Chain A
Amino acid sequence: EVQVVESGGGLIQPGGSLRLSCAASEFIVSHTYMTWVRQAPGKGLEWVSLIFSGGSTYYADSVKGRFAISRDDSKNMLYLQMNNLRVEDTAIYYCARGAGSNWFDPWGQGTLVTVSS
């Protein structure tokens, strides 16, 4: 079964760093494009970052310069390095596989990041 599973969330103080991981099963991460999407408590979906198969990366303005998306092809893993975290970065972070004209399927169950002092 094609699936993705996120991990690495937790409680972190403002200004801190955290790295999220996304493990892919039954497909090769480097052969497609992948994305991170977050959802603040009680709010809607917000796109965070995307990496294409060729390695090009894109970021939402809200995280540009603080977050970095990457992948480890040998481990078939996707990552999101989050630096200088802010209270407003508190959210569930979802990893998803991209397909076709920029739709995403499947999504993982998400990992919760809480930024608080």
Chain B
Amino acid sequence: SYELTQSLSVSVALGQTARITCGGDNIGGKIVHWYQQKPGQAPVLVIYRDNNRPSGIPERFSGSNSGNTATLTISRAQVGDEADYYCQVWDSSTGILFGGGTKVTVL
């Protein structure tokens, strides 16, 4: 069955760039979405269809997807960006699949 692999945690200095990766076999051939979840809150869509931002999501959030890695990039990181981030795909044999999540800490 298909699997998505995310690093457990990423630390980034205030104002710098954080990159959160989501690995999967030829994930570049799939469509990837990203969610942000802050403590005690429901997930929020931050990137859909690899690199599209929903309305209300800052331009500092961007996405890319190629080969075996999809990446969520947070530019000029702020304290308010601290959260867990999950990638998600549709797989024909598994259905909806989420990565294990990455905890982002802003130092």
Contact = CB atoms under 8 A, between A and B. Distances in A.
Interface in A18-56: 35, 37, 44-47, 50
Judged by DSSP, the binding face of A is strand
A101 interface: yes
Contact count band on B: 20 to 34
- Most interface-central of B86, B88, B95 (chain A CB within 10 A): B95
Contacts of A99: 48
A105 B96 contact: no
Given A102-B90, A103-B33, A44 B101 contact: yes
Interface stretch (A70-78, A80-88, A106-114): A106-114
Contacts of B99: 44
A100 B99 CA distance: 20
B95 A45 contact: no
Contacts of A102: 31, 33, 88-90, 96
A42 to B, nearest CB: 11
Interface residues of A, number: 24
Nearest to A47: B96
B100 interface: yes
Contact of B42 (A47, A60, A101, A107): A107
B22 to A, nearest CB: 12
Contacts of A60: 95
Contacts of A103: 33, 45, 48-49, 88
B28 interface: no
26 contacts: A35-B96, A37-B43, A44-B86, A44-B100, A45-B35, A46-B98, A47-B97, A50-B96, A59-B95, A94-B43, A99-B48, A100-B49, A101-B49, A102-B31, A102-B33, A102-B89, A102-B96, A103-B33, A103-B45, A103-B49, A104-B45, A104-B88, A105-B48, A106-B44, A109-B41, A110-B42
Given A45-B43, A108-B42, 5 more contacts: A37-B96, A44-B101, A45-B37, A60-B95, A101-B31
